[in-house]
Structures are given as C-alpha cells and as structure tokens.
C-alpha cells in the first residue's frame, strides 16, 4: 500500500501563477511526481521559459493568462478543455498584495487584490467544474488547493489591509466550496504559508524572518511541494475544508 500512497503518476494539474515563487515550487514538485502540469502566469515570457525549464523533469505546458479579467478566466478554462478531458488537480496560487497605510489606502489597491485573490479563485474553479467532475471518483476525488496565507488567520503586523482581508475570504471560500463540491467528488483545501522566498518577500531579511520562527528558518521548496503532494495523493483523500498553516510554527510562537 505504501508505494501507492503518494503516487501521482498520470495525473493532470493546473497551477496558476505557476512560474514564480511558491507557484514554481509547487509546479516542480508536481512535475517531478509524474503529473502533467499546465501553468498560467500573467507574463507569457516567464510562463513559457519556466515550462521549458521544467521539461527536463517531466511534462509542463504554458497557458499564459491574466486572471484579473473574467474573459481571460473563461478562455483559460476553454483552452485547457481543448487539450484535456479531465482535470485532477487545480492549484489556485495566483495572488497579489498592496502595501499602504490605512488612511491613504487606494481603492485600486483594494479591488486588484480582492479580484485576484478571491474573485478569480471562485470563477476559475467554477469554470473548471466540468473537468474537475470528470476527473473525480468516490475513491479518488479531484483536488482543489487554494494557496492562502497566515495573513488570513492573523494580522501579521503588516500594512496590507486588502491582502489580509482577501486571504481570510479565501479561507472561508475554501470551506464553502468544500461543502458544496464534496458530492461531486471534489475535495477543496487551503494551504496558508508563512514566509517563503518569493518576489512578495524579497524586500525582507529572510535570515531575520527565519529567526522569529520556532524552527529557525523560512519555508523551503520541499515544504510546500511535499504538502501539495500529500493533499493531492491517496494519502489526502479524506481531507476537505481544511486551512493548513505551513509557517514553521510562527502562529504559535
């Protein structure tokens, strides 16, 4: 049994924002696990280049898309449907943040972050439901993983009002979707990362951030890839509606 517990060979996945940061870590983990991974990214150049880079480990296909527009979300779902008859794994990873003091926080900083971090998560999942339903069975459900943040659980002391609010909304949306889609053999969970090396955290001192964690470091690619593999494999087939912090103990420090 153990040799099949984490086996993902032959699965099909879509990872949004899959060419950079945490998304790239997830993409590589899934590709190396034998998954055919489609990646979307706002930058066609970055998306294509990373897909080529990942081809040394397995199959990775670029579908560059700006998920801020509903029309693009619909087009992405249609493009995927033209190439695949089912989708086993959807990782809603694309996200944005906006830092500004509350008394000068702009409306565009609210709308952009909420649209990408919450609205696009819902509408992409909605548009991909036919493929997700086709991929799920009672013994091997399809999986949706929403990449949230510990900022959706705690304020974190950052001046990123819309980001924190959007991730809290993403957490609750995860629970709502988990309840609604269980009957269709689709499991929905969220991962709430702490600090990982990415563009979003590039202006922080990573060593200092790690020192604040009980485990003494920030996240590594294997940390996020391992959890995604667990959630999308047979080992995670009884989990849905969970918000899983991946923060090195920061929330309990």
pTM of the predicted structure, to 2 decimals: 0.95
> What's the pLDDT score for residue 28?
98
Query: Per the residue annotation, which of 38, 57, 163, 230 is the catalytic one?
Result: 163
Let me know if 159 is exposed, middle or buried by CB neighbors in 10 A (0-12, 13-18, 19+).
Answer: middle
Length in residues, the chain: 253
Distance between CA 190 and CA 151 in Å, rounded?
A: 13
Instruction: Tell me, yes or no, if 163 is annotated catalytic.
Output: yes
For residue 42, the domain's CATH number is: 3.40.50.720
Structural domain span for residue 165: 2-252
pLDDT of residue 195: 87
For the chain, state the CA radius of gyration: 17
CA dihedral 66, 69, 75, 81 (to 10 degrees): 80
pLDDT along the chain (253 residues), means of 10: 87 97 97 98 96 97 97 98 98 94 92 97 98 97 97 79 96 98 98 84 72 87 97 97 95 86
Number of separate domains in the chain:
1
Q: Are 100 and 110 in contact (CB under 8 A)?
A: no
Helices 161-181, 120-127: axis angle to 10 degrees equals 30
């Amino acid at each position: 049994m153990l040799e099949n517990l984490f086996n993902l060979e032959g699965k099909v996945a879509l990872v949004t924002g899959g060419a950079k940061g945490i998304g790239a870590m997830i993409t590589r983990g899934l590709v190396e696990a034998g998954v055919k991974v489609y990646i979307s990214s706002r930058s066609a150049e970055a998306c294509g280049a990373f897909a080529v880079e990942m081809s040394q480990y397995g199959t990775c296909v670029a579908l560059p898309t700006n998920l801020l527009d509903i029309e693009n979300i619909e087009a992405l779902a249609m493009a995927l449907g033209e190439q695949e008859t089912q989708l086993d794994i959807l990782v809603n990873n694309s996200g944005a943040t906006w830092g500004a003091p509350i008394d000068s926080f702009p409306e565009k900083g609210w709308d952009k972050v909420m649209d990408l971090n919450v609205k696009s998560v819902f509408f992409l999942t909605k548009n991909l439901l036919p493929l997700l339903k086709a991929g799920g069975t009672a013994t091997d459900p399809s999986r949706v993983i929403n990449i949230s943040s510990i900022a959706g659980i705690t304020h974190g002391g950052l001046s990123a009002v819309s980001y924190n609010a959007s991730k809290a909304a993403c957490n609750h949306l995860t629970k709502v979707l988990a309840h609604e889609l269980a009957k269709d053999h689709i499991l929905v969970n969220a991962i709430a990362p702490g600090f990982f090396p990415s563009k979003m955290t590039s202006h922080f001192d990573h060593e200092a951030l790690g020192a604040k964690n009980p485990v003494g470091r920030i996240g590594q690619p294997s940390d996020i890839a391992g959890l995604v593999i667990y959630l999308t494999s047979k080992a995670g087939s009884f989990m849905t509606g969970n918000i899983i912090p991946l923060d090195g103990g920061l929330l309990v420090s």
